[in-house]
Chains A and B, each alone.
Chain A
Amino acid sequence: MLFAKNITKKIDGREILKDVSLSLECGEIVSVIGPSGAGKTTLLRAISLIDFPNSGALTIGENKYQFPLAETEQIKYPYPDLTVVFQQLFIWPHLTIRQNLTLPLRDNFDEKHFDEVTGLFQMKNFLDRYPNEVSIGQRQRAAIARALLLKPKYLLLDEITSALDIEQSHLILSHLKQIAERGVGIVFVSHALHFASKISSRVIFLDEGKVVEEGSDDILHNPKTERLQRFINISHQVI
Chain B
Amino acid sequence: MFSTITNILVQYKEGLLSGLLVTLGLVAIVWLSGLIFGVLFGIYAHQKKSTGSSLKVLWFLISSTPILVLLFWLHFPLQEILGVVIRPFITASFAFSIVNIIFVAAIVRDALEQFPEQYAIAGKVSGLNDREIFTKIKFPFIFRAVIPQFLFLQVAMLQATIFASLISVNEIFRVAQQINSMIYKPIEIYTTLALFFIAICLPLNLLAYWLKNKYTRDLSEK
Contact = CB atoms under 8 A, between A and B. Distances in A.
Interface stretch (A85-93, A173-181, A191-199): A85-93
A103 B116 CA distance: 18
B13 interface: no
Majority secondary structure of chain A interface residues (helix, strand, loop or mixed): loop
B122 A92 contact: yes
Interface string B107-134: 0000000001011011111111000000
17 contacts: A48-B125, A50-B124, A50-B125, A79-B127, A82-B125, A83-B127, A84-B125, A86-B121, A90-B116, A90-B118, A90-B122, A92-B119, A92-B123, A94-B219, A103-B128, A104-B127, A132-B222
Contacts of A126: none
B218 A104 contact: no
Given A132-B222, A139-B221, A94 B127 contact: no
Interface stretch (B33-41, B79-87, B137-145, B163-171): B137-145
Interface of B: 116, 118-119, 121-128, 136-137, 140-141, 144, 217-222
B125 A79 contact: yes
A150 interface: yes
B118 A88 contact: yes
Nearest to A132: B221
A130 B218 CA distance: 10
A104 B119 CA distance: 13
Contact of B144 (A82, A94, A146): A94
Is the interface on chain A under 10, 10 to 19, 20 to 34, or 35 or more residues?
Answer: 20 to 34
Majority secondary structure of chain B interface residues (helix, strand, loop or mixed): helix
B126 A80 contact: yes
A34 interface: no
Of B136, B218, B221, B222, most buried by chain A (CB within 10 Å of CB) is B221
A83 B221 CA distance: 23
Given A132-B219, A132-B222, A139-B221, A92 B137 contact: yes
Given A131-B221, A132-B221, A94 B140 contact: yes
Nearest to A79: B127
Contacts of B137: 92
A146 B119 CA distance: 13
A139 B137 CA distance: 18
A104 B126 contact: yes
A97 to B, nearest CB: 13
A147 to B, nearest CB: 7
B220 A150 contact: no
Interface string A77-118: 101101110101011111000000001100000000000000
Given A88-B118, A93-B219, A130-B219, A79 B124 contact: yes
Contacts of B222: 132
Contact of B141 (A80, A94, A139): A94
Given A86-B118, A88-B118, A79 B221 contact: no
A223 B153 CA distance: 65
Given A82-B125, A88-B118, A92-B119, 12 more contacts: A80-B125, A90-B119, A90-B122, A92-B141, A94-B140, A103-B126, A131-B219, A132-B218, A132-B219, A132-B221, A139-B221, A147-B126
